A and B are shown apart, each in its own frame.
Chain A
Amino acid sequence: MQHAVETQSLTRVFRPKKKKEGKVVTALDSVDLRIDRGELFGILGPNGAGKTTILKILSTLLLPTSGKAYVAGFDVAKDLLEVRKRINMVSGGEISGYGLLTVRENLWMFSQFYGLKSKEAHRRIDVLLDRFGLRDKDKEKVRTLSTGQRQKMNVIRGFVTNPEIIFLDEPTLGLDVNAARTVREFVVDWIREDPNRTILLTTHYMMEADELCDRIAIIDDGKILACDTPHNLKKLVGMNSTLTLSVGGLNDINDFGSIPGIGNFSSTKDAEGNATSLRFILEDESAVSDIVSTVLGKGSKILSLQKTEPTLEDVFIKLVGRGLE
């Protein structure tokens, strides 16, 4: 099957206008990516890692120095119009549009560059304004909107043309919790509605990448360091999950050692002797239900339960040797 996005040894070098003015920057270094249709694919990396450069090349705004990039099977350096018909892009912190136009007018204006009939454009705008809770703002001038409202409008701008492939460049950057959640929920719903839709998302929010993405590529200094599902990436760390329980009325801990899937466990009584803290190293996630059953089978009461997993930050630190921020 044709990939939604494919890059082959994609390299981008920025050279200063004059040698004295700065150094040569290799923003992308032989990047190979294959993103299938229907995927919500994330690129995770710190500022300056090359995330936005990839998107600029894929959206035909920048030429690669060497290598190839294809979007929906079309070469981004040659088949510009075919690529452009199928894509759109939304960037975090975007201030596009005109402040003296209303929200609806701005969205309509951008839809016209994609050849949408006005009636159809307004129908889609209505649906999306409702979805993002901006319906009551559609006649407000854009310059009166808050940052969150403006970013929601920008997200609508990207989706109103119903692209096959959309590039989201840090779409929740600077948004409050509620606005960011609205955007994330919409993104997930949108891609699930049609298996031919594809999203390429760049972010440096690990939780966002973990929550949204089917697969994630971790990038640093223009190089892809790893590319896999969030679950498999976490396995790279070599850390097991841990399960910690606080249990009341537990007198016998002998059976816990024989539960399959447990690497190790420890127990500690609190000072009053009323509760026991149990900590299990899990080699197999399915051991959780057996542990809970065993505790309850002894007539004990679970007071609290916490499962801790390695994070994408642990993965990043292992791969790069420093944190993401």
Chain B
Amino acid sequence: MSESPLKSNLRAIRGRAYPRLIGSTREPSWFFFDVVLPLFTIAGYAYVYRFLEADAEFIGYVVLGGAMTAFWLNILWSMASQLYWEKEIGNLSLYLMAPTSRMSILAGMAVGGLVETTIQATATVVVGVIAFDVIFSLGSPVTLIVVFAVTMIALYGMGMMFASLYLLLGREAYHLSSLMMEPVYFATGFYFPVRSLGFWAAAGASIIPITLGLDAMRQLIFPVGADDAFLSVNTEIAVLCVLCVVFMVLARYALRYMEHLGKTTGRLTLRWQ
């Protein structure tokens, strides 16, 4: 333990990310559950758009949105719920007892989940593009990478914040995840341009980083995307940057609060509480 705190914390991040990174290679069934099954939903929307003779880009919107749902599911069921699961299986007390930053543990979970889910989402896009003959027109790959990066940082920051809140809620976390699944699918515009909801509804939905991230990515990938845009790409990047900071700060605060409350009441280490 004579090393710099930075190196120690990087090791902790790597250590906690490892189970998620290796997990997908140990459980190949993810391809069926996380890529093939979501294609049915994508196909459903794609056929509706085809039947209505909508622009071809709309099918591209659906494929992209369908791929991005993987990140939201990962946030709900693998990030937000994770500390609760860790408590149930007895890992949480070992994490809290370790001489490393708790944010490193959460960051490890996030990095592992992000990489794992990016692989899934990429597979969904590839299969979706082949199956539905989607044509992309990528004008600025660098901007696209920036949009994706800030969206993911903000989104996983939100997941890190949820992780502590879910732990405080205990078993109610299941219900909260269920509650937030379908409404968020709708409000963030996974399968249609969010502008359709009207300015104020779309602005409200923008608290979920995927809303703006998806809107910006559609503008950058599809030629007519700008016509359906909610805000300009630059504005959306700026708001996402603000969300990154807000969620990271809130995640840190929530984690501290959760740990202190847990140590005061004993709820962190007693599984039945």
Which residues of A are at the interface with B, using a C-beta cutoff of 8 A?
Answer: 14, 17, 56, 59-63, 81, 84-85, 87-89, 91, 94-98, 100-101, 105, 108-117, 141, 157
Contact = CB atoms under 8 A, between A and B. Distances in A.
Given A14-B266, A101-B22, A115 B90 contact: no
Contact of A109 (B7, B15, B27): B15
Contact of A115 (B11, B23, B27): B11
A87 B100 contact: no
Contact of A114 (B18, B23, B99, B265): B99
A88 B97 CA distance: 8
Nearest to B88: A95
Nearest to B15: A112
Contact of B97 (A84, A95, A112, A117): A84
B14 interface: yes
Interface residues of B, number: 33
Given A63-B264, A85-B99, A113 B105 contact: yes
A59 B98 CA distance: 10
Contacts of A87: 97
A115 B8 contact: yes
A242 B176 CA distance: 67
B22 A105 contact: yes
A161 to B, nearest CB: 9
B268 to A, nearest CB: 6
Interface in B72-121: 89-91, 93-100, 105
B226 to A, nearest CB: 44
A13 to B, nearest CB: 10
Contacts of B89: 95-96
Contacts of B99: 81, 84-85, 113-115
Contacts of B105: 113
B12 A113 contact: yes
Nearest to B264: A63
17 contacts: A14-B266, A56-B266, A60-B263, A61-B96, A62-B269, A63-B263, A81-B99, A84-B97, A85-B99, A87-B97, A105-B19, A109-B16, A113-B11, A113-B95, A113-B100, A115-B100, A157-B94
